Amino acid sequence: MSSFILLFGCLGLGILLQRFKDFPANAPLVLNQFIIYISLPALALYFIPEVTLNSAVLLPVGVAWICFAGAALFFWGLGKAFGWSKKLIGCLILTGGLGNTSFIGFPIIEALYGGEGLKTAILIDQAGSFMVLSTLGIGLAAALSKGKADAGLIARKILRFPPFLIFILALAANILDLHFSADLKEVFQRLGSTVSPLALVSVGLQLRIERRSKHWGFLALGLTYQLILAPLLILALYVWGLDASGKQAQVCVLEAAMAPMITASIVAASYGLKPRLANMMVGFGIPISFLTLACWYWVVQAI
């Protein structure tokens, strides 16, 4: 329950702080930079070295890659058919194709499935969502923000993205069986725990409810993919196609149904890919997702 209070409380706090004129106008930018340069790398250093790497991780790891690929095909196809701008397409792919598999996903999965379910959720997030954002997500944002793809520029953006560099370091530590001390792990955990509250406050600071906004239709489309079509895709491939079953399959479907990833919206906004729509996807997606997740939880009980 405390996790849900934190989610809505921080989002509401960000909205409330909009009314304080003394609060810096560039606060969302500062918060986003702290998350990208400090909080996310700390999470990678905390989780990745302890993950057990074997064939059993393939299904969880594949969730985010499959959902992102599906979003790219879905929104790129629609964008070409209806003449959307590249920035709009990029925003929808990033925010509709990547779910909040950690800061919403972790507490929900742990509450429903306990520690075993959380282990699956960590794989889905760190080797899946986190890695997709750090590579394909940054590459897509860099390419579409400029209106054209520059392979050298995109490669530099990816290689200079702090969470990606730290992920590689943490993965190397895992492969070499190197582990951090308990004190360092506690430091990483505390720094990493700042992601959710800071990101939600940042989103709240930028969230505007504009009745005449041109984004409402795109918001509905993006959330339809993220909350309905993405988990349906995983259900079809994993359960109906590969005959997967049990708690791992259930967690995979539920993680695919999470609200849009906060960090993906931050990246979209940072690269100028329809910042208002990116923040609307998170701001409205989080509360709506609790309703759709309840429906999906009922569905996966039959798996």
Indicate the pLDDT class of residue 151, thresholds 50, 70 and 90. low
Is position 197 within any domain? Answer: yes
Indicate the pLDDT class of residue 153, thresholds 50, 70 and 90. low
Which residues are CB-neighbours of 215 under 8 A, at least 6 positions away?
274, 276, 277, 280
Q: What is the pLDDT of residue 148?
A: 55
Q: What is the pLDDT of residue 111?
A: 80
Judged by DSSP in three states, 22 sits in coil
Is position 14 within any domain? Answer: no
Total count of domains within the chain: 1
Residue 133: half-sphere exposure toward Cβ, Cα within 13 Å: 30
- Cβ burial of 25 (10 Å; 0-12, 13-18, 19+) is exposed
**CA dist 15 to 23, 204, 206, 260, 279, Å?**
12, 4, 8, 19, 12
Measured distance CA(120)–CA(142) in Å, rounded: 31
Average pLDDT score over the chain: 86
Is position 15 within any domain? Answer: no
Q: Positive or negative CA dihedral for 248, 254, 259, 265? A: positive
For the chain, the first-to-last Cα distance in angstroms comes to: 26
Measured distance CA(133)–CA(137) in Å, rounded: 4
Residue 80 has pLDDT above 90, yes or no: yes
Q: What is the pLDDT of residue 229?
A: 98
Q: What are the tens digits of pLDDT across the range 210-246?
A: 666 688 999 999 999 999 999 999 999 999 999 988 9
Is position 97 within any domain? Answer: yes
Is position 19 within any domain? Answer: no
Cβ atoms 260, 99 nearer than 8 A: yes
Any idea what the CATH number is for the domain that residue 170 is in?
Answer: 1.20.1530
Domain that holds residue 286: 25-205+213-300
Is position 9 within any domain? Answer: no
0.85 surpassed by pTM: no
State mean pLDDT over 40-64: 83
Q: What is the pLDDT of residue 56?
A: 67
Indicate the pLDDT class of residue 287, thresholds 50, 70 and 90. confident
Is position 7 within any domain? Answer: no
Q: What is the pLDDT of residue 209?
A: 65
Q: What is the pLDDT of residue 33?
A: 84
